[in-house]
Amino acid sequence: MSKLQVLTPENSQLIFIDHQPQMAFGVQSIDRQVLKNNTVALAKSAKIFNVPTIITTVETDSFSGHTYPELLDVFPDAPLLERTSMNSWDDQKVRDALAENAAKGRKKIVVSGLWTEVCNLTFSLSCMADTDYEIYMVADASGGTSEDAHKYAMDRMVQAGVIPVTWQQVLLEWQRDWARRDTYDAVIATVQQHSGAYGMGVDYAYTMVHKAPSRSSHTGETQSPFPAATQIAAE
Protein backbone atom coordinates (compact mmCIF):
# COMPACT_ATOMS: atom_id res chain seq x y z
CA MET A 1 0.00 0.00 0.00
CA SER A 2 1.03 3.60 -0.45
CA LYS A 3 -0.08 6.72 1.37
CA LEU A 4 -0.22 8.37 -2.05
CA GLN A 5 -3.15 6.14 -2.95
CA VAL A 6 -6.51 7.70 -2.18
CA LEU A 7 -9.00 5.92 0.02
CA THR A 8 -11.35 3.67 -1.93
CA PRO A 9 -14.19 1.41 -0.80
CA GLU A 10 -11.99 -1.54 -1.77
CA ASN A 11 -8.78 -0.66 0.10
CA SER A 12 -10.35 0.57 3.35
CA GLN A 13 -11.85 -0.73 6.54
CA LEU A 14 -13.20 1.21 9.51
CA ILE A 15 -12.94 0.78 13.26
CA PHE A 16 -14.95 2.61 15.92
CA ILE A 17 -13.28 2.61 19.32
CA ASP A 18 -15.26 3.20 22.51
CA HIS A 19 -18.03 5.55 21.40
CA GLN A 20 -19.70 5.13 24.78
CA PRO A 21 -21.33 7.64 27.15
CA GLN A 22 -18.77 7.64 29.94
CA MET A 23 -15.99 8.20 27.42
CA ALA A 24 -17.97 10.97 25.73
CA PHE A 25 -18.60 12.69 29.07
CA GLY A 26 -14.88 13.40 29.32
CA VAL A 27 -14.51 14.91 25.86
CA GLN A 28 -13.66 18.62 25.88
CA SER A 29 -11.93 19.03 22.49
CA ILE A 30 -15.13 19.12 20.41
CA ASP A 31 -18.81 19.73 21.08
CA ARG A 32 -20.18 16.33 22.02
CA GLN A 33 -23.30 16.59 19.88
CA VAL A 34 -21.12 17.51 16.90
CA LEU A 35 -18.92 14.54 17.74
CA LYS A 36 -21.91 12.20 17.70
CA ASN A 37 -23.18 13.71 14.45
CA ASN A 38 -19.81 13.20 12.79
CA THR A 39 -19.44 9.67 14.12
CA VAL A 40 -22.86 8.59 12.85
CA ALA A 41 -22.19 10.30 9.52
CA LEU A 42 -18.94 8.35 9.16
CA ALA A 43 -20.80 5.12 9.94
CA LYS A 44 -23.43 5.88 7.31
CA SER A 45 -20.66 6.63 4.83
CA ALA A 46 -19.09 3.23 5.40
CA LYS A 47 -22.43 1.51 5.01
CA ILE A 48 -23.09 3.24 1.68
CA PHE A 49 -19.85 1.86 0.25
CA ASN A 50 -19.94 -1.54 2.01
CA VAL A 51 -16.71 -0.79 3.85
CA PRO A 52 -16.18 -3.43 6.56
CA THR A 53 -16.72 -1.85 9.96
CA ILE A 54 -15.54 -3.00 13.39
CA ILE A 55 -17.07 -1.69 16.62
CA THR A 56 -15.05 -2.26 19.77
CA THR A 57 -16.02 -1.34 23.31
CA VAL A 58 -14.37 -1.21 26.73
CA GLU A 59 -15.85 -2.13 30.12
CA THR A 60 -19.41 -1.58 28.90
CA ASP A 61 -21.30 -2.80 31.96
CA SER A 62 -18.85 -1.74 34.66
CA PHE A 63 -17.88 1.74 33.53
CA SER A 64 -18.30 3.05 29.99
CA GLY A 65 -21.94 2.37 29.17
CA HIS A 66 -23.49 1.25 25.92
CA THR A 67 -22.40 2.40 22.47
CA TYR A 68 -24.38 5.29 20.98
CA PRO A 69 -27.74 3.87 19.85
CA GLU A 70 -27.53 6.00 16.70
CA LEU A 71 -24.26 4.28 15.77
CA LEU A 72 -25.60 0.80 16.50
CA ASP A 73 -28.69 1.51 14.41
CA VAL A 74 -26.46 1.94 11.35
CA PHE A 75 -24.97 -1.52 11.93
CA PRO A 76 -27.64 -3.41 13.90
CA ASP A 77 -26.07 -6.82 13.28
CA ALA A 78 -22.44 -5.89 13.95
CA PRO A 79 -20.72 -7.75 16.77
CA LEU A 80 -19.41 -5.60 19.61
CA LEU A 81 -15.84 -6.53 20.43
CA GLU A 82 -15.61 -6.01 24.18
CA ARG A 83 -12.24 -5.40 25.84
CA THR A 84 -10.61 -4.59 29.17
CA SER A 85 -7.50 -2.91 27.75
CA MET A 86 -7.48 0.76 26.82
CA ASN A 87 -5.40 -0.27 23.80
CA SER A 88 -7.61 -2.12 21.33
CA TRP A 89 -4.56 -3.76 19.79
CA ASP A 90 -4.14 -5.77 22.99
CA ASP A 91 -7.32 -7.71 22.22
CA GLN A 92 -6.93 -10.67 19.87
CA LYS A 93 -10.51 -10.36 18.56
CA VAL A 94 -9.72 -6.88 17.26
CA ARG A 95 -6.47 -8.01 15.66
CA ASP A 96 -8.19 -10.94 13.98
CA ALA A 97 -11.03 -8.81 12.61
CA LEU A 98 -8.59 -6.29 11.16
CA ALA A 99 -6.40 -9.03 9.73
CA GLU A 100 -9.34 -10.73 8.03
CA ASN A 101 -10.15 -7.55 6.15
CA ALA A 102 -6.50 -6.70 5.50
CA ALA A 103 -6.01 -10.09 3.86
CA LYS A 104 -8.49 -8.90 1.22
CA GLY A 105 -6.41 -5.81 0.47
CA ARG A 106 -8.03 -3.51 3.04
CA LYS A 107 -4.89 -2.26 4.77
CA LYS A 108 -6.00 1.36 5.09
CA ILE A 109 -7.55 1.48 8.55
CA VAL A 110 -9.91 4.41 9.13
CA VAL A 111 -10.17 5.11 12.86
CA SER A 112 -12.75 6.99 14.96
CA GLY A 113 -12.58 6.77 18.71
CA LEU A 114 -12.49 8.10 22.26
CA TRP A 115 -10.19 9.31 23.64
CA THR A 116 -7.73 10.57 21.06
CA GLU A 117 -4.83 10.69 23.51
CA VAL A 118 -5.35 7.20 24.92
CA CYS A 119 -7.36 4.65 22.97
CA ASN A 120 -6.72 6.09 19.51
CA LEU A 121 -3.06 6.84 20.11
CA THR A 122 -2.03 3.53 21.65
CA PHE A 123 -3.99 1.51 19.10
CA SER A 124 -2.43 3.38 16.19
CA LEU A 125 1.17 3.16 17.38
CA SER A 126 0.87 -0.51 18.32
CA CYS A 127 -0.91 -1.49 15.13
CA MET A 128 1.62 0.24 12.89
CA ALA A 129 4.53 -1.22 14.87
CA ASP A 130 3.31 -4.77 14.29
CA THR A 131 1.87 -4.58 10.75
CA ASP A 132 2.09 -2.85 7.38
CA TYR A 133 -1.35 -1.28 7.85
CA GLU A 134 -1.89 2.45 7.32
CA ILE A 135 -3.88 4.44 9.87
CA TYR A 136 -6.25 7.24 8.83
CA MET A 137 -7.38 9.07 11.98
CA VAL A 138 -10.75 10.82 11.65
CA ALA A 139 -9.99 13.89 13.74
CA ASP A 140 -13.53 15.29 13.88
CA ALA A 141 -15.08 11.94 14.77
CA SER A 142 -12.68 11.52 17.70
CA GLY A 143 -12.30 13.50 20.89
CA GLY A 144 -9.89 14.12 23.74
CA THR A 145 -10.22 15.29 27.33
CA SER A 146 -8.97 18.77 26.37
CA GLU A 147 -8.07 20.66 23.21
CA ASP A 148 -4.39 20.17 24.04
CA ALA A 149 -4.88 16.45 24.70
CA HIS A 150 -6.49 15.98 21.29
CA LYS A 151 -4.05 18.25 19.44
CA TYR A 152 -0.85 16.81 20.83
CA ALA A 153 -2.08 13.24 20.45
CA MET A 154 -2.85 14.01 16.79
CA ASP A 155 0.57 15.62 16.43
CA ARG A 156 2.31 12.60 17.93
CA MET A 157 0.41 10.21 15.68
CA VAL A 158 1.14 12.27 12.56
CA GLN A 159 4.84 12.30 13.47
CA ALA A 160 4.64 8.51 13.62
CA GLY A 161 3.00 8.25 10.19
CA VAL A 162 -0.74 8.42 10.88
CA ILE A 163 -2.74 10.33 8.26
CA PRO A 164 -5.24 12.86 9.69
CA VAL A 165 -8.61 13.12 7.92
CA THR A 166 -12.18 14.31 8.55
CA TRP A 167 -15.37 12.30 8.14
CA GLN A 168 -16.59 14.26 5.13
CA GLN A 169 -13.19 13.94 3.48
CA VAL A 170 -13.46 10.17 3.85
CA LEU A 171 -17.00 10.13 2.44
CA LEU A 172 -16.10 12.18 -0.63
CA GLU A 173 -12.85 10.30 -1.19
CA TRP A 174 -14.83 7.06 -1.32
CA GLN A 175 -17.35 8.62 -3.73
CA ARG A 176 -14.64 10.30 -5.81
CA ASP A 177 -16.77 10.85 -8.92
CA TRP A 178 -20.33 12.22 -8.98
CA ALA A 179 -20.93 10.09 -12.07
CA ARG A 180 -21.03 7.05 -9.76
CA ARG A 181 -24.79 7.01 -9.62
CA ASP A 182 -25.18 3.83 -7.58
CA THR A 183 -23.98 5.67 -4.46
CA TYR A 184 -24.82 9.25 -5.44
CA ASP A 185 -28.24 9.52 -3.80
CA ALA A 186 -27.10 7.98 -0.52
CA VAL A 187 -24.04 10.22 -0.35
CA ILE A 188 -26.15 13.32 -0.98
CA ALA A 189 -28.65 12.19 1.68
CA THR A 190 -25.85 11.83 4.22
CA VAL A 191 -24.54 15.27 3.31
CA GLN A 192 -28.00 16.78 3.70
CA GLN A 193 -28.49 15.18 7.11
CA HIS A 194 -25.03 15.70 8.62
CA SER A 195 -22.93 18.26 6.74
CA GLY A 196 -24.18 21.50 8.24
CA ALA A 197 -23.92 24.45 5.86
CA TYR A 198 -22.93 22.20 2.96
CA GLY A 199 -26.04 20.08 3.46
CA MET A 200 -28.25 23.14 3.80
CA GLY A 201 -26.79 24.47 0.56
CA VAL A 202 -27.60 21.22 -1.22
CA ASP A 203 -31.18 21.39 0.07
CA TYR A 204 -31.49 24.99 -1.12
CA ALA A 205 -30.09 24.22 -4.56
CA TYR A 206 -32.33 21.20 -5.03
CA THR A 207 -35.55 22.91 -3.96
CA MET A 208 -35.07 26.53 -5.03
CA VAL A 209 -32.94 26.16 -8.16
CA HIS A 210 -33.89 22.73 -9.48
CA LYS A 211 -37.44 22.86 -8.03
CA ALA A 212 -37.18 19.44 -6.41
CA PRO A 213 -39.70 18.67 -3.66
CA SER A 214 -38.64 19.14 -0.05
CA ARG A 215 -37.19 16.11 1.73
CA SER A 216 -39.69 16.71 4.52
CA SER A 217 -42.85 14.64 4.82
CA HIS A 218 -44.69 17.72 6.07
CA THR A 219 -48.28 17.84 4.72
CA GLY A 220 -49.69 20.89 6.47
CA GLU A 221 -50.87 23.82 4.39
CA THR A 222 -48.92 27.02 3.96
CA GLN A 223 -51.12 29.95 4.93
CA SER A 224 -50.73 33.28 3.11
CA PRO A 225 -49.69 36.45 4.96
CA PHE A 226 -52.62 38.21 6.69
CA PRO A 227 -51.64 41.58 8.25
CA ALA A 228 -53.25 42.19 11.64
CA ALA A 229 -55.90 44.95 11.86
CA THR A 230 -53.79 46.98 14.30
CA GLN A 231 -50.99 47.12 11.75
CA ILE A 232 -53.37 48.33 9.00
CA ALA A 233 -54.79 51.03 11.30
CA ALA A 234 -51.33 52.26 12.23
CA GLU A 235 -50.49 52.81 8.62
Residues 139, 118: Cα–Cα separation, whole Å = 14
- DSSP secondary structure of 197-215: HHHHHHHHIIIIIS-PPPS
- Rg of the chain, C-alpha, whole Å: 21
Bridge partners of 136, per DSSP, are 110, 163
* Active-site annotation holds for 119: yes
Instruction: Kindly report the number of other CB atoms within 10 A of residue 101's CB atom.
Output: 20
Bridge partners of 111, per DSSP, are 15, 137
- Catalytic annotation, pick one of 119, 127, 128, 138: 119
Residues 6+ apart with CB under 8 A from 204: none
- Positions marked active-site: 119
